[in-house]
C-alpha cells in the first residue's frame, strides 16, 4: 500500500478532495479512500478499525514503540489491509499511499495542529478530521436508527454532566449512552448492534478543534477557564474551539448564566433557525433558564407557564451528601439538555437518583474523627480546584503537579481564607509556591522532599512508576494527617495534571484513597471501591 514519506514539492496536491463532500453516511463510497490515521490509542484505533471496515486504504502512524502500540498494530493488521508505521520517524511527514498523497487525515484529538505531520497536511491541502467528525459523517446507516446527539464541553464538569444526561435519558426509557471523551469512542457506539436513540457526547477542546460539521439537537459549554494553553497556543484560541460546540445546534444552545463567556459564545454561534438560548444558574432562574429555588432544581425554560412559574425537577439533597455548587450546575446543565430533547421532569429526578458519581470527583474517601478526606484528583486545573475548594470551609489542601502553563494567582487569592495548610506534591511547585507566598503568607506550606521532585518521566512521556506515585501520596497524606484536626477537610484537588509523578489522574486518586485507608482507617481499599 505504501508508506514512504512525501516530499515537499508544491505540485503534489490531493486529486480528489471533492469526494469528501459526498461522504456523509455509512453507505457512502468510502472504498479505496486514502486515509492516514494519526495515533494508535483508543480513538485512533477505533478510527482505523472503522475505516478498514468501510474499505478505505489506511496507514496508521504513531511515535510510540511500546508493547501496547505494537499489539494494537498487530490487531489492526489482522482485521484488515492496513499499514502501521511506528516510531519517531513515522510522524515527521505525510506518508504516501499507493504512491499518492492521502486524501484525508483522521487525527487523534491529542495531536497538536503544529505537529509536523499535521502541519505537512495543511501545507499540502489535505483535509484533517478528528474521530468525532468522522463519526458524525457515519451516523446515518441504512436499516439502522440514527441516534441524536447532545453535546457537552467545558473546562470542568464534562464527565459528570454527560453521565447525568445519560442517566436521565435512560430513566425516560430511551436507549442512550455516554460517548466521546468520556471513554467510549463514538465510532464504537455507532458499530454497536444496539439502535440507540441518543448519544450524550463529551467533547474536549481538542476534539472540537478537529470537528467541522456537527449539528447536535442540544449543546452546552459548562464553563471556561485557562487550560491547555500549551496545546491551543493562546487562551483566545482555546475559547474559539470550545465555542464550536454551539455551531449548527438545532433546538437549544445552553449556556452558564454565571459566566458571560459562554453566553457570548451562544450569541455569536451560527445555529439552526428556531434554536433557543437556554441559561442555567445555581441562583434563582429568570425566564428561559433552569436554576435553584428554595433548595429545589427547577425549570423555567421548557414549560408553557414559564413566564410566572417553574417546574420542579429535583431537590439538591437528591445529589448526595456532598453537593457542591458546581455539582448542582452540572445537574442543571444535564437537565437542560435532556429537557430540550423532550425528557419529562420525573425522568430528570429519577436520572439524578440513579446516577453514580465517578471516582476522583469530590469523592468522600473517609470521615474519621470528624475529619473529611476528599479525593478530587480530577481537578487538573485551577478552575476545577476552585470549585472543589469552594465546597469546604477549613481545608488542608494537597496540591501540585504539571501546571500546563496556567496561573495560580487568582485561585490562591480567592481561597486563602479557607486554607489551614497546604501539602505540595509534584516535580515543579514553583508557581504554586509563589502564589501562596504572595496571597497566603500565613498559611503553612509543606513542600515535597527533594527525592519527590526528581524526574521520574522520560522525555518521551513514559508513565511514572506506580510504586513511586503511591510513595509520594503516602507521604503527602501523612503530612496532612499531622496538621488536620476535627472539623477540617483534607482535600486532594491538585489544580494540575498528574503525569510528572503518576500515570494518570485516576492513578493519583487511587494512590490517595489507598494512603488514606491505610493511614487513617488502617485498611486497604476493597475491590468494590
Q: Which residues contact 462 (CB under 8 A, 6 or more apart)?
A: none
Backbone angles phi and psi of 366, in degrees to 5? -160, 150
SS3 313: strand
Report residue 120 as a C-alpha cell.
Answer: 505537512
Report residue 337 as a C-alpha cell.
Answer: 439538555
* Angle subtended at Cα 153 by Cα 115 and Cα 164, rounded to the nearest 5 degrees: 140
Neighbouring CB atoms inside 10 A of 438's CB total 13
Q: State in Å, rounded, how far the first CA of the chain is from the last one.
A: 48
* Nearest by Cα to 91 from 67, 70, 121: 121
Do residues 220 and 154 make contact, with C-beta atoms less than 8 angstroms apart?
yes
Q: Which residues contact 221 (CB under 8 A, 6 or more apart)?
A: 153, 154, 242, 243, 245, 246, 255, 256, 262, 265
What distances in angstroms separate CA 481 from CA 372, 389, 464, 486, one per listed residue? 11, 18, 25, 11
Distance CA(468)–CA(464), nearest Å, equals: 7
Report residue 378 as a C-alpha cell.
Answer: 480530577
Report residue 432 as a C-alpha cell.
Answer: 504554586
Which contacts (CB < 8 Å, 24+ apart) does range 231-236 have?
231/112, 231/205, 231/206, 232/205, 233/114
Do residues 492 and 512 make contact, with C-beta atoms less than 8 angstroms apart?
yes
Provide the b/e sequence for 101-117 (b: ≥16 CB within 10 Å): bbbbbbbbbebebebeb
Task: Give the H or E element holding residue 314.
Answer: strand 311-315
Provide the b/e sequence for 127-137 (b: ≥16 CB within 10 Å): bbbbbbbbbbb
Distance CA(299)–CA(529), nearest Å, equals: 35
* Rg of the chain (C-alpha set): 24
Q: Which residues contact 350 (CB under 8 A, 6 or more apart)?
A: 168, 171
Annotated binding site: 154-160
What distances in angstroms separate CA 250 from CA 187, 216, 490, one per listed residue? 22, 6, 44
Cα dihedral across residues 499, 501, 503, 504: positive or negative: negative
Annotated binding site for ATP: 154-160
DSSP 97: B
Amino acid at each position: 500500500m505504501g508508506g514512504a514519506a512525501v516530499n515537499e514539492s508544491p505540485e503534489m496536491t490531493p486529486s480528489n478532495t471533492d469526494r469528501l463532500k459526498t461522504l456523509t453516511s455509512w453507505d457512502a463510497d468510502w472504498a479505496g479512500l486514502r486515509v492516514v490515521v494519526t495515533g494508535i490509542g483508543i480513538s485512533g484505533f477505533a478510527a482505523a478499525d472503522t475505516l478498514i471496515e468501510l474499505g478505505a486504504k489506511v496507514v496508521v502512524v504513531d511515535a510510540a514503540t511500546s508493547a501496547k502500540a505494537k499489539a494494537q498494530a498487530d490487531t489492526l493488521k489482522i482485521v484488515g489491509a492496513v499499514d502501521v508505521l511506528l516510531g519517531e520517524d513515522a510522524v515527521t511527514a505525510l506518508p504516501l499511499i499507493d504512491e499518492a498523497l492521502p486524501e484525508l487525515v483522521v487525527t487523534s484529538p491529542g495531536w497538536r495542529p503544529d505537529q509536523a505531520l499535521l502541519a505537512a497536511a495543511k501545507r499540502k491541502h489535505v483535509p484533517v478530521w478528528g474521530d468525532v467528525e468522522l463519526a458524525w459523517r457515519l451516523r446515518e446507516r441504512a436499516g439502522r436508527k440514527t441516534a441524536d446527539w447532545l453535546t457537552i464541553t467545558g473546562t470542568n464538569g464534562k464527565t459528570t454532566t454527560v453521565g447525568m444526561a445519560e442517566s436521565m435519558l435512560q430513566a425516560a426509557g430511551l436507549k442512550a449512552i455516554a460517548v466521546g471523551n468520556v471513554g467510549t469512542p463514538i465510532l464504537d457506539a455507532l458499530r454497536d448492534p444496539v439502535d440507540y436513540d441518543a448519544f450524550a457526547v463529551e467533547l474536549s477542546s481538542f476534539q472540537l478543534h478537529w470537528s467541522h460539521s456537527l449539528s447536535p439537537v442540544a449543546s452546552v459549554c459548562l464553563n471556561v477557564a485557562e487550560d491547555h494553553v500549551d496545546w491551543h497556543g493562546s487562551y483566545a484560541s482555546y475559547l474559539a474551539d470550545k465555542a464550536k460546540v454551539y455551531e449548527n445546534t438545532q433546538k437549544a444552545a445552553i449556556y452558564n448564566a454565571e459566566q458571560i463567556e459562554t453566553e457570548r459564545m451562544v450569541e455569536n454561534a451560527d445555529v439552526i433557525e428556531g434554536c433557543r438560548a437556554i441559561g442555567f444558574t445555581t441562583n434563582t432562574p429568570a425566564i428561559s433558564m433552569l436554576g435553584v429555588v428554595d433548595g429545589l432544581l427547577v425549570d423555567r425554560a421548557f414549560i408553557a407557564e414559564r413566564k410566572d412559574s417553574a417546574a420542579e425537577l429535583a431537590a439538591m439533597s437528591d445529589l448526595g451528601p456532598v453537593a457542591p455548587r458546581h455539582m448542582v450546575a452540572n445537574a442543571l446543565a444535564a437537565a437542560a439538555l435532556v429537557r430540550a430533547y423532550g425528557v419529562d421532569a420525573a425522568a430528570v429526578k429519577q436520572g439524578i437518583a440513579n446516577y453514580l458519581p465517578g471516582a476522583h470527583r469530590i469523592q468522600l474517601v473517609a470521615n474519621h474523627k470528624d475529619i473529611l478526606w476528599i479525593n478530587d484528583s480530577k481537578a487538573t486545573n485551577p478552575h476545577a480546584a476552585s470549585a472543589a475548594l469552594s465546597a469546604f470551609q477549613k481545608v488542608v489542601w494537597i496540591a501540585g503537579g504539571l501546571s500546563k502553563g496556567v496561573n495560580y494567582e487568582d485561585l490562591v487569592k480567592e481561597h486563602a481564607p479557607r486554607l489551614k495548610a497546604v501539602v505540595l506534591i509534584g516535580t515543579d511547585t514553583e508557581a504554586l509556591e509563589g502564589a501562596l507566598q504572595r496571597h497566603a503568607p500565613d498559611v503553612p506550606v509543606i513542600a515535597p522532599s527533594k527525592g519527590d521532585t526528581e524526574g521520574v518521566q522520560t522525555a518521551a512521556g513514559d508513565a511514572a512508576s506506580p510504586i513511586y506515585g503511591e510513595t509520594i501520596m503516602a507521604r503527602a497524606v501523612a503530612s496532612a494527617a499531622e496538621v488536620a484536626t476535627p472539623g477540617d477537610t483534607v482535600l486532594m484537588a491538585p489544580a494540575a495534571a498528574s503525569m510528572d509523578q503518576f500515570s494518570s489522574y485516576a492513578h493519583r486518586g487511587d494512590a490517595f484513597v489507598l494512603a488514606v485507608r491505610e493511614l487513617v482507617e488502617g485498611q486497604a481499599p476493597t475491590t468494590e471501591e
